[in-house]
Structure formats: C-alpha cells, structure tokens
Chains A and B, each alone.
Chain A
Amino acid sequence: MPVEFRTGAWLRPLRGLAVVVSLLVSGVAIAESVPGPNAQSAMPAAEDAALEARVKAFAYNLRCLVCQNETIADSRAPLALDLREQVREQFAAGKSESEVRDFMVSRYGDFVLYSPPLKASTLVLWFGPALLLVAGGAWLAYRLRSRQREQAPQLSDEERERARALLKGSQPNSEESRT
C-alpha cells in the first residue's frame, strides 16, 4: 500500500519542481478547478466506486480457473464474473480481504491465488531467488579473489601463432567463397 502525501507548505522549496513535474504528468497532484458533478455527469458503472476499486485490486491477484491464464479482474469468463460478484458482496458485507481469500482457497485451492502462500512446499519458490543471489555472490567473490592472484596473461607462442593463423587463414578461403 503506497502512502500518499500531498505537497505541503513545509515542502515549499520543492514547489517549483512540483509544478514542473505536475505539468508533465497532466495535473495529478496540484489542485485544479475540476467542475463538480452535475446533471450531465455520467454515473459510475458501479454504484460504489470505492468498493469497486477494492474489488478490482483484490481480483487482480486471483486466477480465473476456466481461462488459460487470466486474472479474475480481467477475464470475461462467466465464472470470473460470478467470483467478482462474490468478492463484491463479501466486501460490502464487511468481510476482510483475508476472509475472502480463505473463501476462495477453501473452494478452489491455492491454484486460485497468483501469489502462492508461504508454506513448506513453496519455500524453495519464495527463498530460491535469495539463495541463488547468495550463491552467485559467493561464486563471484571466489572468482574475483582467485583472479587477483592469477598471473598476467601469458599467451604461449603457440597460442599466439594459432590466433594469428585463425584470422589470417580467412584470406584464401574468402576468395574462394566469392566465386
């Protein structure tokens, strides 16, 4: 959950920058003369827009079971619509996110969660990247230390000759290939 702040007076030195950036992003932060709702205003598609936003954010982390691989928020499959409705009703009834999550998992299993719960079987999944990073770091440290100790590169005469031959050897062949 991002913490949102409004630019306050105590940030006066940053005001100039704020104006510039806000102009760039088309006036999100700076208050504007937004006309209030009137008779011509379109109705939000959902009766409770705030609830709808919560439902959407929540459904974004649920997987639609009938579709190949879509979130319940995006899918147009009938089951996804039903489940979105379930989420909406339960939120409206005051249920918490973890309660609704449990509701889904008890019916469809962990499969329905795009963010797998941390349990014995997912330890490797969640800690694998960190372990790999540590392993990679250790290998890197080992390589760097051994490299420092190594002698300056001394190509043997033979190797040097071979490299030269490899590059020079191309001439006659390339002549041939032109024909």
Chain B
Amino acid sequence: MKAKFLVPLALFVLLAGFLAYGLTLNPREVPSPLVDKPAPAFSLARLDQPDQRLDLEQMRGKVWLLNVWASWCVACRQEHPFLVELSRRDIVPIIGLNYKEVRGDGEIDARGMALDAETALAVQRARGWLQAHGDPYTWSVLDIDGRVGIDYGVYGVPETFLIDRNGVIRYKHIGPIHDAVFRDVLLPKIEELTRAG
C-alpha cells in the first residue's frame, strides 16, 4: 500500500474529526470582544425615576451584573424567576438594561412616535412587567433606542455581563441564565473578583 494513496483517507479523518467536534459547538454564539475591556460608558434614565440618570461611574468599586432585558423578550421570562431568586440571595447587584422596550417589540409600530411618548410607554410597560414577575434589579435603566445595546455588542436578549470593580467586563453570557450556568461559571468568577478587590 503506497503512502500517497492514504492521503485522501488521512484528510478525511481530519475533516471528520473537525465535523464531530463542530457538532458540540454553537455556531450562533459569538464571543464578545469586549471581555477584559473597560465597559462602555453610559448614562441612562432610571426606570423607577425617569428624571434621574444612572452612570456607569456610579457602579465603580462594585462587582455587578448587567442584565439586558425587555418585556417583549420571551427568553427573559424564562430566566426571570432565577434572577428574582438571585437578588434575594444578595450575592451580586444586578442592573437591568431595558433594551428597546417599545421599538424592539415587533407588535408595535413605533415609527413616528415622539421620544417622550415612547419613553412614557416604555416606563409603563416595563414597570407593569416587573410588577407582574418580580423585580430583581437594583436599578433598571432605559435604553430606548438601543444605542447602549450596540456599544455593548448586544445581539440577542437576554444577555448578561459581569463587570468588576474597575469597570472592566469580565464575562458575557448570551441567552437566559439558569442555575447551572450561574453555579458553575458566574459564581466562581464573582467570588474571585470580590476576593481580588
């Protein structure tokens, strides 16, 4: 058996190995280039008091989670009970980034709506939703037009960022958080970051 006739077989075995490994990967999950980079600055209206703003700077010195949510987001409903439960355990403050509450909802035609009216509607919808499902957030802020979302590279809601005392993003989770993910991935990182400070 001449070696050169084994070349196609060898190439195929290599390819099959990659394909098999590929089955375990999720091609739609895009890692964020923002990890280990300073969190993009923002200053947004608070949901509880829309005339007040929350700055990124205000969170300096804390290890915290930034959770991107919206009332129209189906998967958010799925992770919400866990977030409520987590907030009771008082491990880490959670800041909610309410993402495109009105214009992100495919059922509403928000074109031509004035920003004031849109904000008022967003506040009403978001508060109603938190009343119905519980409010795990230290604060929620309103990203009406989704610009802060773009700065954070948000592409699917929910997403959760872990940010350290110096305002550096340490981890990003795409999709709903659940018990296992928190216990195995987020919690060890949070503990490490808290100790480090």
Q: Which residues of A contact B (CB under 8 A)?
A: 65-66, 68, 78-79, 82-83, 86, 105-109, 111
Q: From DSSP, what is the main secondary structure of chain A's interface residues?
A: helix
| CB pair A83 B32 closer than 8 Å | no
Name the one of B28, B33, B100, B104 contacting A107, with C-beta atoms under 8 angstroms.
B33
Given contacts A107-B151, A108-B153, A109-B153, 10 further A-B contacts (CB under 8 A): A65-B155, A68-B28, A82-B146, A82-B150, A107-B33, A107-B152, A108-B32, A109-B30, A109-B31, A111-B30
Q: Which residues of A contact B28 (CB under 8 A)?
A: 68
The A-contacting residues of B in range 146-161, CB under 8 angstroms, are: 146, 150-153, 155-156
Smallest Cβ distance from B157 to chain A, in angstroms? 10
- Bound Cα distance from A99 to B100, whole angstroms: 26
Instruction: Categorize the interface residue count of chain B.
Output: 10 to 19
Bound CA span A109–B30, Å: 8
Q: Which residues of B lie under 8 Å from residue A108 when comparing CB positions?
A: 30, 32-33, 153, 155
Contact (Cβ within 8 A) A107 B34: yes
Q: Is the CB of B150 within 8 A of A86?
A: yes
Which residues in window 24-46 of B have CB below 8 A to A? 28, 30-34
Determine the chain A residues whose CB is within 8 A of the CB of B151 once the complex forms. Answer: 107
State the CA gap A79–B33 with chains docked (Å): 18
Interface string of B128-168 (1 = CB under 8 A from A): 00000000000000000010001111011000000000000
- Min Cβ gap B66→A in Å is 15
B146 touches A107 (CB 8 A): no
CA distance A109 to B155 in the complex (A): 12
Q: Which residues of B contact A65 (CB under 8 A)?
A: 30, 155-156
Q: Which residue of A lies closest to B155 (CB)?
A: A65
The answer to whether B146 touches A105, judged by C-beta atoms less than 8 angstroms apart, is no
B111 shortest CB reach to chain A, Å: 11
Q: Are A79 and B155 in contact (CB under 8 A)?
A: yes
User: Given the interface contacts A83-B150, A86-B150, does A66 sit within 8 Å of B155 by beta carbon?
Assistant: yes
Asked if A109 and B100 make an inter-chain contact with CB atoms under 8 angstroms apart, the answer reads no
Interface string of B77-109 (1 = CB under 8 A from A): 000000000000000000000001001101000
